[in-house]
Structure 1
Amino acid sequence: MTTVSTERGALRRRGGRRAGVLLAALLAAGLAAGCTSGGSGDDGRGPRESPAATREADGQDPPPVLTVKIDNAPAARPQSGLDAADVVYVEQVEGGLSRLMAVYATRLPESVGPVRSARESDLELLRQFDEPLLAFSGAQSKLLPLIDEAPLTPVDPGSEPDAFSRDSDRAAPHNLYLRPDKILEDPPGEAALTAGFREGPAPSGGTPDEEVTVRFPAARFTFTWSDADGRWQVSMDGSPATTRDGDRLTAATVVVQNVTVRSSGFGDFLGNNTPYTETVGSGKATVLRDGRAYPASWSRPAAEDGTSLTSPDGDPVNVTPGPVWVLLTAAR
């Protein structure tokens, strides 16, 4: 059994940030997508040193994990880089829509995106990693200071302009992409994954289940077991989820994690409150692997901890090697 957890080094954070360009276009398009900000104008805090330019090796410490906030509006699909992620978190945003947080440790794709704005609950979610890189495009102005104070290294078009580009074939704000090789020479490796999930044999029991649908207020995800792939095929809002090359997105393990989703102190331009997803605490979960569904409980005592999964008997519920999708759904 392999525990996907160990100590590792981190990058120093750098203060200040510039947001990017095309603010007016992003505001207009963001209304339809339920975002607080996807933009990139100057936020008034001045320039920030580039993490790529100032990154020094801390002894033999490996680089941190890369996390990227990814758009999941229909206009953003198919996304780039999701097939290379070690973990994909699905979060609820304004209007009941969903947005993704992809975590990269063992592979760096050529391109990731479309990159979108950060949310307050991302800061708690990412505390489980040691000062990760967070790639995003804008955030509500009063959230930016909280991002600056968080134990992570922000990466946005203002700090790393050479790492981001726009796809002229897509409309803003669904067209901003990150080049991971511009901010990391190599992936940090499996040791950087401290999400708490343990690889190992399947637990006993479970129920055969060939298809499971998980619903958010205005989004749904379906996972269909494929014997040929040995994985769950992903569908979003009733359509197969694919890469930009047309290959089907798959998950080796799916964790449906029932959490508290409450109102935050933030909102979007339409007056919708931004949901805050609590990922510290405990609750019920369902783990999908090997074509079966296993009841489980999840526990994350503190923000610095990963999330453990246990069976009703208290035994660990392991994941199978490969991508893990975690759907953070409101407990009922």
Structure 2
Amino acid sequence: MRRRTRRWRGGALLTAAVAVSLAAGCTPGPGAQEDGRAPHPEGSSSTEAGHPASVLAVKVDNVRAARPQTGLDAADVVYVEPVEGGLSRLMAVYATELPKSVGPVRSARESDLELLRQFDRPTLAFSGAQGKLLPLIDKAPLRAEPPGEKSDAYVRDADRPAPHNLYVRPGELLSQPPGADALTTGYHYGEAPGGGRAVSSRTVRYPSASFAFTWSESRDRWLVGMDGDPARTTEGGRLAPATVVVQHVDVRESDFHDSRGNYSPYVETVGSGRAEVLRDGRVYDAAWKRGTATDGTAFTARNGTPLNFAEGQVWVVFVDSTNSADKS
């Protein structure tokens, strides 16, 4: 994929009309198609078609109309990504558990391909992509599973408005969970390191979205809030990861844009930078490094030792390293 050097300027350069249209859903570009083409338990990998089974990654809608989402509480890792209009989208990764349903499912972005290279031929569930991006998805070392006429994996909820009503049934894509061995993220789990600072909450702000993580002593988890509201599942439970990572990255313009000429942000997940790791009611300053796209991401403490995550679900929030709006 070609690299551009333009910096992503978030929502500041977008008009109000564009932000409103994107709040209702991603605006497809020319040739685009929207419907086209837990604890951290021990587990063993299964095999499928002669290949080690890999993770299932699902692109999940995250505008207000898409909430509450389904199946996020079963994910091993949830990535929070910036998209057009200063909004956000989620990528939920499943290895140790496959819920009955996940969604609403939405479209893929160019930077997803680099992020997913850390896994061995992952399955990607998504609802479409910008037309010129589809050939790159087809060529990527992953199993692309968008909805199609012959697919039984996707259903629509008649009680929700389109396009925020498409759901995937993971059991139709994978016969069983691949197991924890498929989580080749590079993360280390174990006892908390020394040091850190006690914090009750951490807020991350995008131009048109915000995330709050509030420590719950009784649950030993970080309670998620989105745009000022508690983030819940469709069953009513709170989304509550054990570890939250605020990963400061370079964000540039993607090679692809929508019909109005607005380029998607591209999250640079290969490289290095600083991060904050939240676990056990404390925040730890860390450094992250991912040498190549096929590597996982290593997080180290100030003394250079691996920084252990707490056992359980991990949320990774990608933040533009130049984003002055992000604050605790």
Give the TM-score of the pair, scaled to structure 1. 0.85
- Identity across the alignment (%): 61
Q: How does 1:282-321 map to 2 (within 5 A)?
A: 282-321=272-311
Change (3 A) 1:109 1:35: farther
d(CA) in 1 for partners of 2:292 and 2:68? 35
User: CA contact under 8 A between 1:295 and 1:311: conserved in structure 2?
Assistant: yes
Structure 1 residues 159 and 135: CA distance shift in structure 2, 3 A: farther
Aligned to 1:151: 141
1:66 to 39, 53, 56: 56
Where in structure 2 are there 5+ consecutive unaligned residues?
1-19, 38-46, 323-328
C-alpha distance in structure 2 between counterparts of 1:146 and 1:112, whole Å: 25
CA displacement 1:197-223 (0-9 Å, x = unmatched): 110111110000011101112111000
Q: Do residues 39 (structure 1) and 34 (structure 2) align?
A: yes
Amino acid at match of 2:220: G
The aligned amino acid for 1:39 is E
* SS of equivalent to 2:152: helix
* Equivalent residue in structure 2 for 1:255, among 241, 245, 256: 245
Q: Is the 8 A contact 1:31 1:269 kept in 2?
A: no
State the SS of the aligned residue for 2:212.
strand
CA contact (8 A) 1:38 1:116 kept: no
Residue 173 in structure 1 maps to residue 163 in structure 2:
yes
| Gaps in structure 1 of 5+ consecutive residues | 1-27, 44-54
* Alignment counterpart, residue 227 of structure 1, candidates 217, 227, 231: 217
Q: Given the alignment, which residue of 199, 202, 205 partners 2:192? A: 202
Residues 19-58 of structure 1 mapped to structure 2, 5 A cutoff:
32-36=24-28, 39-41=34-36, 57-58=49-50
1:23: which partner in 2? none
Secondary structure of 1:80 counterpart: coil
Q: CA deviation at 1:267?
A: 1.2
**Number of residues of Structure 1 aligned to a counterpart in Structure 2:** 291
CA offset digits 1:153-178 (Å, max 9, x no partner): 00011276200000000011000000
Q: CA shift at 1:266, angstroms?
A: 1.1
CA RMSD of aligned residues (A): 1.7
Quick one: distance in 1 between partners of 2:150 and 2:90?
Answer: 21
Whether the aligned pair in 1 keeps the contact of 2:23 and 2:63 (CA below 8 Å) is: no
TM-score (norm 2): 0.86
**Correspondence for 2:175:** 185
Query: Which one of the candidate residues 70, 75, 78 is aligned to 1:85?
Result: 75
